[in-house]
């Protein structure tokens, strides 16, 4: 749904901008609103997307500048009104987006630590994840833990919050799992990694999911683990709007993660 | 009688068409969806049919606003 809304936020401003060019001079207010809305929304897209798609962002920035020129050439009053509409549109989208990121999708979820297969003798894993809003991350994370359990691992499952364990003594494996928001791994998992501090060579696996691209979030997650002195033993990216068969040969996300969980080497073998 | 279109009409029209298209997209099957939608099959949107209804309602609203406020008798 967010992807669809993002698409609308490109298409609609473009049409509004085009329409402003065809408006007559006596429709001054319409020109300022249409071009202002278009420029503001396009500039917000540039701000939001330049990290993963710099070329398309450059194109959108040029189109926003064209709309500003259109406003400027329409007269002083229209230019002033259009500038206000541009700024208000940009700020409104920015506030809404940052609010969505900060207070909705990146809000920490506190759950009790769930212990799976407490009698497991193969090794002990701590699996910390941010569930996100869709349930997808929770599903694939639990599928990974099922794979570990099938090899007789004991698995402690925690959500990335202040309540999650930070003492890694006694754990043979740390698994960090997070969805991608705003092109980067969810903030709760980043904050959790900061709380862990130096991983001291802890074997660590990372699981990152996204709607369409993990080109920024997966390398970032891997780097965060390496920078924290973790031993990155595995990293996986899964997508909800792109067929996972591209990378794994099958589409079933749960089965992919079960297989990956089963493939984790047992300590000492 | 043909009605004159005011600036902004086509923006709303594109929004209406996009929302209607989005409604259709939500019910389209997608084999690699990660879970069944509320109608019991793997659809493009896991929130189908709620998302379908939301898109349709929004499309109707933008259409009505476009017709009533962005056109005038010529």
Q: Answer whether B72 touches A (CB < 8 Å).
A: no
Contact A243, A176 (CB under 8 A): no
The b/e string for A155-181 (b: 16+ C-beta within 10 A; e otherwise) is bbbbbbbeebbeebeebbbbbbbbbbb
pLDDT at B28: 93
Nearest Cα to Cα of residue A164 among A202, A111, A107, A93: A111
Q: Which residues from chain A sit within 8 angstroms of residue B10, using beta carbons?
A: 15, 19
- Chain A: give the shortest CA distance to residue B39, in Å: 17
pLDDT digits over B12-24, tens only?
Answer: 999 999 999 999 9
Chain B, 26-65: which have a CB under 8 Å from a chain A CB?
31-35, 45-47, 51
Q: How many CA atoms lie within 13 A of B66 on its CB side?
A: 18
Name every chain A residue with its beta carbon within 8 A of the beta carbon of B18: 7-8, 11-12
Cβ–Cβ < 8 Å for A201, A173: no
pLDDT above 70: percentage of residues in chain A? 99
Contact with chain A for residue B2, Cβ under 8 A: no
Cβ atoms A44, A100 nearer than 8 A: no
Would you say B69 and B11 are in contact if contact means Cβ atoms under 8 Å apart?
Answer: no
pLDDT at residue B20, rounded to an integer:
96
Helix (H, G, I), strand (E, B) or coil at A93: helix
Look up residue B2 and give its two tokens. 């043909």
Cα distances (Å, whole numbers) of residue B73 to B12, B67, B68, B70: 18, 11, 11, 11
Predicted pLDDT at B31:
81
Look up residue A153 and give its DSSP letter. E
Whether the predicted pLDDT of A1 surpasses 90: no
- Looking at the domain A114-263, which fold is it? Rossmann fold (3.40.50)
Chain A residues in contact with B32 (beta carbon < 8 A) = 242-245, 251
CB contact under 8 A, A139 and B35: yes
Q: What is the pLDDT of residue B1?
A: 63
Rounded distance between C-alpha atoms, residue A206 and residue B30, angstroms:
27
Q: Do B7 and A27 touch (CB under 8 A)?
A: yes
């Amino acid at each position: 749904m967010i992807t669809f809304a993002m698409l609308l936020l490109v298409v609609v401003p473009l049409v509004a901008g085009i329409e402003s060019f065809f408006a007559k001079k006596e429709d001054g207010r319409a020109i300022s609103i249409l071009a202002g809305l278009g420029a503001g929304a396009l500039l917000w897209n540039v701000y939001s997307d330049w990290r993963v798609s710099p070329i398309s962002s450059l194109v959108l920035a040029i189109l926003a500048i064209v709309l500003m020129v259109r406003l400027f050439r329409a007269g002083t009053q229209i230019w002033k009104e259009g500038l206000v509409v541009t700024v208000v549109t940009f700020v409104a989208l920015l506030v809404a987006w940052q609010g969505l990121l900060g207070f909705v999708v990146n809000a920490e979820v506190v759950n009790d630590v769930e212990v799976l297969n407490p009698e497991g003798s193969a090794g002990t894993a701590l699996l910390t994840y941010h569930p996100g809003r869709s349930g997808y991350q929770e599903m694939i994370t639990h599928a990974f833990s099922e794979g570990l359990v099938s090899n007789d691992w004991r698995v402690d499952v925690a959500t990335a919050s202040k309540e999650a364990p930070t003492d890694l003594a006694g754990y043979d494996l740390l698994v960090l799992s997070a969805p991608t928001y705003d092109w980067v791994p969810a903030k709760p998992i980043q904050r959790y990694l900061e709380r862990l501090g130096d991983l001291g060579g802890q074997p660590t696996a990372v699981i990152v999911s996204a709607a369409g691209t993990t080109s920024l979030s997966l390398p970032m997650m891997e780097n965060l683990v390496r920078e924290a002195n973790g031993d990155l033993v595995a990293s996986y990216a899964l997508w909800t709007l792109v067929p996972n068969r591209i990378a794994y040969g099958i589409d079933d996300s749960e089965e992919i993660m079960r297989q990956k969980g089963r493939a984790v080497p047992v300590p000492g073998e | 009688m043909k009605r004159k279109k005011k600036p902004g009409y086509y923006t709303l029209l594109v929004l209406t068409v996009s929302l209607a298209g989005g409604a259709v997209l939500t019910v389209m099957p997608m084999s690699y969806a990660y879970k069944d939608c509320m109608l019991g099959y793997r659809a493009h949107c896991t929130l189908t049919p709620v998302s379908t209804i939301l898109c349709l309602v929004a499309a109707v609203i933008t259409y009505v606003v476009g017709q009533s406020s962005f056109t005038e008798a010529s």
